[in-house]
Structure 1
Amino acid sequence: MTDAGQRGLGHSTNLVGRPPDWLASCAFNEAPAPLHIWGVREMNSSLFAMLDQAETPAEAGGAFLAYMTAMFGLDDEQRDEGSGKRRFRSSFLRLIQGWSFDSNGPEGAVLKGWVESRFGVCPSFHKGIIAQVSDPAWAGYVEEKMASGFHNNAIWVQLDLLFEFCQWAIARFAFPGQTHLTLFRGVNGFDEHRIVERIDRRAAVVRLNNLVSFTTDRSVADCFGDRILTAQVPLAKVLFFNGLLPATLPRGEAEVLALGGEYRVRVDYV
């Protein structure tokens, strides 16, 4: 573990072959490198061969959903009813939907747990500040992230595929040739976002959670707080953005879900 007081909790290993401290640093954000979860594309080569045939983002999104439905039995018709009862099968779609309602709910814990497992960066907030493993918030987070109801259908493998598909779609259709997006986040205070360095009244380095929501629309950020954080977010850190998939998920907030860590941000006041 790293020094929680300086860099936050983290692991020394992950599944992307990049040092976790670097992934969570401003240095990575300013000069990002590609991120790929080991073995995902190689073990699902048929998916990416199919995606390479897509001519539009909608066609690619539809192909991805069809693959995920077939692989993980996400349709109602494919659910196991051998016991006479419908068996719930966890789905990455439900996690994204749950996150949009409450990032500190059980779905949020599972998503943060996936980031911890794959990238080695632990959450800094889940219903409370997490500065060390002895904090009550850490125990609550661990309990929720490992809830058996979410781990009966290889949910982290589903998220691995979502991340790799997102990175493929970014390069192929959404933002070809770009390295960053200018994104916004509205906050009412810095309880969840520790200030690492105050550069001046309008600029700071803040420690964001290991997974965090941004928006591409500044006016949307105004609805979520009286302070607006503006950040240059590396596309290599993006897990999900509105328009990635067909009209399956809410689109009203122009949301982008990205890996967190330390970010150099501009702070404006509404």
Structure 2
Amino acid sequence: MRRRTALLGSLAALASPLPARADTPVDLELVLAVDVSRSIDEIEADLQRRGYVEALTDERIITAILSGENKCIALSYVEWAGTQYQSVVIDWTVIDSAPAARRIADRLAEAPRTSQSWTAIGAALAFAGSHFDRSGTQSRRRVIDISGDGRTNEGPPAELVRDMLVAQGIVINGLPVMMNRSNFGRPPDFELDKYYEQNVIGGPGAFIIPAANFNDFGRAVRSKLVREISQRPSRRMPA
């Protein structure tokens, strides 16, 4: 009951504008929101985690970070499953150099992994949206990068929360994994990319980069991070 109350509180907070802040300036505030539902087995979870670890130290991504006006971004890594599970694995950290990126990658590689029931994309987005208010930084660009291998089957509709976040100037990009080996006997969802496009992503310049499967995940996440870090603020986003 307390978790449900907290979720409703997060949704209510999203309906109101976030307060202005005067914190450390960065070029991007980025939440990596990563699905850890039980449809993802240990091998796939390892490929997923490794994809992010390797991406964070990829030379192209470091170059993109250092090419911005402030030459730094703020990043947080969050894992999610059902409405009752959102966990901050890496809290807000500023990346302003290759060594800083390596430190985050090392922490992520060593962090324990878990697996939980259900897929609550709406609840994950609500949590990520409220998480920006604790970043300690300020940017014209706030982006949620959400990855997953299935559609919402619990909690608030993803599109409802998406619309609330977009109204605040938050951009949501998606990385749908089109097929895995442990989908409880269900056929692959070959239209998961369309679901993400219609119900999950939103905001100026929002996009998806699908991964064909978890073996393809590392390639997809590197391409996605380079693109979203390199994007420049839209005039439609709040200053």
TM-score, normalised to structure 1, is 0.28
Of structures 1 and 2, the one with the larger relative CO (CA 8 A, separation 6+) is 2
